[in-house]
């Protein structure tokens, strides 16, 4: 692996740091009651979104998952509008209809996020079919977790993408747990084996190192863009926090502190920080703190949705199935 | 009153032809594909075979494999792919081979197809048509004879229609494809081969409108899909006994268009709703609830429902018992009149 240019190294650090601090500020807002749904924090997994999105062009498309804030930020979404979305405010990227769990941001190329696990794989195939037909060179990345590999829907998507040799990169963020179920008690065989069964080039990589992820993603993206069909990348990673912030209250005991501590030894932010000089790091950190102060203020100060708008956009053609009131 | 129920044989122009429901949908698909290159037909066996019911017969030959996609046996994958295609501006028409096979795709329909337009504030449209041959009468058992339409009508964000005759089949499939919203298109497979005269130069009836298909004064029958013909036959039989029944074809199940039903019940005072689906929490239940709310002082008898039983679809030799037929409909009318 050739060393990336220093500007790229700095940029990878910046993205990881932004995601990390964004998530930490978001958890504060969950505790303060500003994000009613709670969130699925991706702290510990930032290198995956960062490395994969660094391999993409702005016009490329990603499909995210319920643990998707990192994907949005790494793909270039406006952090203020992402946080407003999570906080249920009308200034959110989907006017609060996607919330934390499944927002879209078409302008940044985030076309959907599925809360129903594994169902983005076939949607990615459809988007990619259109790309291949148009010859526009766009690559589609579908992010999902290790829980999704037990879903049949995911394999239907793999099959279609391989059958039709579509420009998709499937990225599995294996953080070790599907909610609380350890991956070794849920997944028979291997994750990459699922891709290989369909003839999809599949690799398992260190998901804590953004440069390793970037190199694997770049190879897969190049294959997709040149008409070589789909790839699967398993990124071995870990979430320091719970599946969801409800675990802040419900102290679940499905993993022990030594395991978490061992993973923190290989923290993606530390790994990348070591590649950036101290002065640059301090500047980036300070910029991010300043940015996030504005982001939090923007989100919290934004108005909440009005109930009278709740049925807007239910149908493109304007017809409604219901009379528009609850007691109709 | 000698009342053929649906007067389609209006034109003597050379354009007029005799078609079946299956052929009507086929020709409608063909017209839609000719009109818009973004229309793509996809599903299991729809291409080379032309569909197990031959509804897509000849389309792949004429439009090519990039417009008529033979997909693997994977309903979730088919609908999921259609979502991706719709995001990129296509108008996919997915065929689900049999009613009971739609459930692997149910999650994609309910969680994505129904919600993406709403979730994205209209930035993503879902002009997807999902064709579902439904209902019984073909001598098959469960998975092949079911009526799952209420499950979809219950879901905000979807539109649900059902054609009952060849002329509607021809027009409604085209209108559904033109619609920017997702449409579940329920086809009465037991009546695929019923014939009528089609004049394609006529102006089509609007898609999301119910329609009085026979006028009468003693009681109102409401049905959709395969049971419209049953109700028309029942009305014809009742006429021989001097009983004059009105029949309304709902055509659209979501949104329901009940104004013509309310008007009718205000005149007749009696309503029997007929469908093959089980009565619990069904389209028939919704019609009954709305009619009692809107026409309370006009009703001379409770609204009655004649439906399939609240059971899984029965063995094929019992489907004559299970499916509402002319006798069960007229018995309900008698009960209403005797109230």
**What average pLDDT does range B183-193 have in this prediction?**
98
B13 against A302, higher pLDDT: A302
**What average pLDDT does range A27-42 have in this prediction?**
96
Residue A114: the pLDDT is 84
CA atoms within 13 A on the CB side of A321: 23
Question: Per-residue pLDDT tens for B316-338?
Answer: 899 999 999 999 999 999 999 99
- CB spacing of B74 vs A156 below 8 angstroms: yes
- Say if B17-198 and B211-338 have the same CATH topology: yes
Which band of pLDDT confidence, cut at 50, 70 and 90, is reported for residue A116? confident
Q: How far is B127 from chain A, CA to nearest CA, in Å?
A: 9
Question: Per-residue pLDDT tens for A165-199?
Answer: 999 999 999 999 999 999 999 999 999 999 999 99
Which band of pLDDT confidence, cut at 50, 70 and 90, is reported for residue A308? confident
Question: Per-residue pLDDT tens for A190-243?
Answer: 999 999 999 999 999 999 999 999 999 999 999 999 999 999 999 999 999 999
Question: How distant, in Å, are the alpha carbons of A73, A84, B113 from that of A80?
Answer: 10, 6, 28
Residue B204: the pLDDT is 95
- For chain B, give every domain's residue range: 17-198, 211-338
- CB spacing of B81 vs A321 below 8 angstroms: no
Residue A257: the pLDDT is 92
Helix, strand or coil for residue A305?
coil
Residue B13: the pLDDT is 52
C-beta of residue B314 within 8 angstroms of C-beta of residue B282: no
Smallest Cβ–Cβ distance between A97 and the set B118, B125, B255 belongs to B118
Portion of chain A with pLDDT greater than 70, in percent? 97
Look over chain B and give the mean of its residue pLDDT values, rounded to a whole number: 94
Residue positions counted in chain B: 339
Chain A environment of B122 (Cβ under 8 Å): 313, 316
Chain B environment of A156 (Cβ under 8 Å): 72, 74, 76-77, 80
C-beta of residue B100 within 8 angstroms of C-beta of residue B140: no
Question: Per-residue pLDDT tens for B219-245?
Answer: 999 999 999 999 999 999 999 999 999
Residue positions counted in chain A: 328
Residue B10: the pLDDT is 46
- Residues pairing with A234 in the sheet: A172, A204
Residue A319: the pLDDT is 64
Interface of A with B in 128-167 (CB under 8 A): 128-131, 133-134, 152-153, 156-157, 159-160, 163
The angle formed by the CA atoms of residues B298, B299 and B304, to the nearest 5 degrees, is: 150
C-beta of residue A169 within 8 angstroms of C-beta of residue A145: no
C-beta of residue A71 within 8 angstroms of C-beta of residue A143: yes
Residue A252: the pLDDT is 87
Residue A305: the pLDDT is 92
Residue A34 in tokens: 């500003």
- CB spacing of B80 vs A319 below 8 angstroms: no
Look over chain A and give the mean of its residue pLDDT values, rounded to a whole number: 94
Q: Name the pairing type of β-strands A231-236 and A168-174.
A: parallel
Residue B14: the pLDDT is 63
* Distance of alpha carbon B66 from alpha carbon B86, whole angstroms: 15
Residue B274 in tokens: 């007929």
- Catalytically active residues of B are 144
Residue A163 in tokens: 């059958």
Portion of chain A with pLDDT greater than 90, in percent? 88
Question: Per-residue pLDDT tens for A53-107?
Answer: 999 999 999 999 999 999 999 999 999 999 999 999 999 999 999 999 999 999 9
Smallest Cβ–Cβ distance between B72 and the set A134, A160, A315 belongs to A160
* Distance of alpha carbon B316 from alpha carbon B319, whole angstroms: 5
Residue B20: enclosing H or E segment and its boundaries?
strand B17-20
Rg of chain B on CA atoms, in Å: 20
Residue A327 in tokens: 């007691």
Residue A253: the pLDDT is 87
Sheet arrangement for strand B159-162? B68-70, B39-43, B91-95, B129-134, B183-188, B159-162, B252-254
Q: Is the link from the previous residue into B296 a cis peptide, with omega within 30 of 0?
A: no
- Predicted TM-score (pTM) of the model is 0.94
Question: How distant, in Å, are the alpha carbons of A84, A241, A290, B59 from that of A297?
Answer: 10, 25, 11, 57
User: Domain A6-300: which topology?
Assistant: Rossmann fold (3.40.50)
Portion of chain B with pLDDT greater than 90, in percent? 94
Helix, strand or coil for residue A237?
coil
B81 part of contact set with chain A, CB < 8 Å: yes
- Residues pairing with B39 in the sheet: B91
Residue B103 has pLDDT above 90, yes or no: yes
Question: How distant, in Å, are the alpha carbons of B25, B26, B225 from that of B56?
Answer: 8, 6, 20
Residue B173 has pLDDT above 50, yes or no: yes
**What average pLDDT does range B133-146 have in this prediction?**
93
Distance of CA A254 to the CA centre of its chain: 24
Residue B16 has pLDDT above 90, yes or no: yes
Residue A122 has pLDDT above 90, yes or no: yes
ipTM of the complex: 0.93
Residue A311 has pLDDT above 60, yes or no: yes
Residue B4: the pLDDT is 44
Residue B11: the pLDDT is 44
Look at domain B17-198 and name its CATH class: alpha beta
Q: Which of A4-13, A282-291, A315-324, B279-288 is predicted least confidently?
A: A315-324
C-beta of residue B187 within 8 angstroms of C-beta of residue B169: yes
Residue A125: enclosing H or E segment and its boundaries?
helix A120-134
Residue A20 in tokens: 């990390």
Residue A307: the pLDDT is 86
Within 8 A by CB and 6+ apart from A184, the residues are: none
Rg of chain A on CA atoms, in Å: 20
Buried b (16+ CB within 10 A) or exposed e, A151-184: bebbbbbbbbbbbbebbbbbbbbbbbbbeebebe
- CB spacing of A128 vs B125 below 8 angstroms: no
B262 part of contact set with chain A, CB < 8 Å: no
Q: How far is B20 from chain A, CA to nearest CA, in Å?
A: 30
- CB spacing of B181 vs A315 below 8 angstroms: yes
In the numeric block, the tokens 């929490």 are attached to B281
**What average pLDDT does range B82-90 have in this prediction?**
98
Which band of pLDDT confidence, cut at 50, 70 and 90, is reported for residue A1? low
User: Domain B211-338: which topology?
Assistant: Rossmann fold (3.40.50)
Question: Per-residue pLDDT tens for B54-64?
Answer: 999 999 999 99
Q: Which of A107-116, B80-89, B271-280 is predicted least confidently?
A: A107-116
Chain A environment of B107 (Cβ under 8 Å): 116, 119, 153
* Distance of alpha carbon A106 from alpha carbon B89, whole angstroms: 14
Q: Which of B213, B216, B237, B215 is nearest to B225 (CA)?
A: B213
A123 part of contact set with chain B, CB < 8 Å: yes
Q: Name the pairing type of β-strands B271-278 and A177-178.
A: unpaired
Q: Which of A232, A224, A229, A223 is nearest to A190 (CA)?
A: A232
Phi-psi region of A121 (alpha: psi -120 to 50; beta: other; left: phi over 0): alpha
Q: How far is A74 from chain B, CA to nearest CA, in Å?
A: 20
Residue B308: enclosing H or E segment and its boundaries?
strand B304-308
C-beta of residue A1 within 8 angstroms of C-beta of residue A212: yes
């Amino acid at each position: 692996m050739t060393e990336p240019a220093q500007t790229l190294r700095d940029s990878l650090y910046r993205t990881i740091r932004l995601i990390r601090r964004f998530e930490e500020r978001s958890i504060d807002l969950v505790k303060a009651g500003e994000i009613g749904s709670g969130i699925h924090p991706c702290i510990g997994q930032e290198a995956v979104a960062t490395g994969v999105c660094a391999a993409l062009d702005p016009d490329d498309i990603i499909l995210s998952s319920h643990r998707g804030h990192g994907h949005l930020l790494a793909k270039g979404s406006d952090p203020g509008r992402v946080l407003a979305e999570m906080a249920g405010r009308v200034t959110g990227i989907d006017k609060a209809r996607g919330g934390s769990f499944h927002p879209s941001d078409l302008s940044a190329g985030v076309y959907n996020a599925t809360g129903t696990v594994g169902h983005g794989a076939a949607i990615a195939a459809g988007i990619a079919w259109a790309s291949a037909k148009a010859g526009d060179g766009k690559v589609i990345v579908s992010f999902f977790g290790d829980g999704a590999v037990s879903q049949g829907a995911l394999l239907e998507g793999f099959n279609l993408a391989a059958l039709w040799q579509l420009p998709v990169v499937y990225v599995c963020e294996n953080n070790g747990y599907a909610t609380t179920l350890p991956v070794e008690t849920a997944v028979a065989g291997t994750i990459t084996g699922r891709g290989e069964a369909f003839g999809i080039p599949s690799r398992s990589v260190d998901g804590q190192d953004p440069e390793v992820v970037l190199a694997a993603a770049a190879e897969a993206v190049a294959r997709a863009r040149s008409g070589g069909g789909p790839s699967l990348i398993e990124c071995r990673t870990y979430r320091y926090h719970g599946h969801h912030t409800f675990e802040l209250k419900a102290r679940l005991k499905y993993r022990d502190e030594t395991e978490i501590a061992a993973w923190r030894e290989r923290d993606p932010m530390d790994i990348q920080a070591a590649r950036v000089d101290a002065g640059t790091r301090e500047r980036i950190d300070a910029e991010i703190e300043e940015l996030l102060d504005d982001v939090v203020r923007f989100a919290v100060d934004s108005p909440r949705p009005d109930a009278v708008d709740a049925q807007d956009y239910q149908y493109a053609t304007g017809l409604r199935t219901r009379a528009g009131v609850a007691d109709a | 009153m000698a009342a053929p129920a649906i007067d389609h044989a209006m034109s003597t122009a050379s354009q007029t032809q005799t078609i079946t429901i299956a052929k009507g949908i086929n020709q409608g698909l063909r017209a839609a594909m000719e009109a818009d290159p973004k229309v793509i037909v996809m599903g299991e066996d729809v291409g080379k075979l032309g569909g197990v019911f031959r509804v897509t017969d000849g389309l792949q030959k004429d439009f090519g494999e990039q417009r008529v996609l033979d997909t693997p046996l994977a309903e979730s994958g088919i609908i999921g792919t259609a979502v991706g295609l719709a995001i990129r501006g296509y108008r996919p028409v997915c065929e689900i081979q049999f009613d009971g096979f739609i459930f692997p795709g149910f999650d994609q329909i309910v969680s994505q197809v129904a919600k993406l337009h709403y979730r994205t504030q209209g930035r993503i449209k879902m002009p997807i048509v999902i064709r579902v041959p439904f209902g019984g009468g073909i001598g098959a058992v469960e998975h092949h004879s079911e009526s799952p339409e209420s499950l979809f009508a219950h879901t905000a964000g979807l539109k649900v229609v059902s054609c009952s005759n060849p002329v509607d089949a021809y027009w409604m499939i085209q209108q559904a494809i033109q619609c920017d919203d997702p449409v579940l298109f329920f086809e009465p497979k037991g009546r695929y081969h019923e014939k009528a005269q089609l004049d394609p130069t006529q102006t089509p009836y609007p898609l999301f409108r119910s329609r009085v298909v026979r006028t009468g004064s003693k009681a109102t029958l409401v049905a959709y899909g395969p049971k419209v013909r049953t109700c028309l036959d029942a009305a014809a039989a009742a006429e021989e006994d001097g009983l004059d029944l009105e029949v309304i074809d709902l055509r659209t199940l979501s949104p329901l268009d009940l104004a013509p039903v309310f008007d009718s019940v205000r005149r007749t005072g009696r309503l029997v709703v007929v469908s093959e689906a089980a009565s619990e929490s069904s389209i028939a239940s919704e019609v009954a609830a709305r009619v009692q709310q809107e026409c309370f002082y006009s009703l001379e008898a409770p609204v009655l429902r004649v439906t399939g039983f609240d059971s899984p679809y029965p063995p094929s030799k019992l489907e004559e018992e299970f499916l509402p037929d002319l006798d069960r409909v007229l018995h309900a009318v008698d009960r209403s009149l005797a109230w």
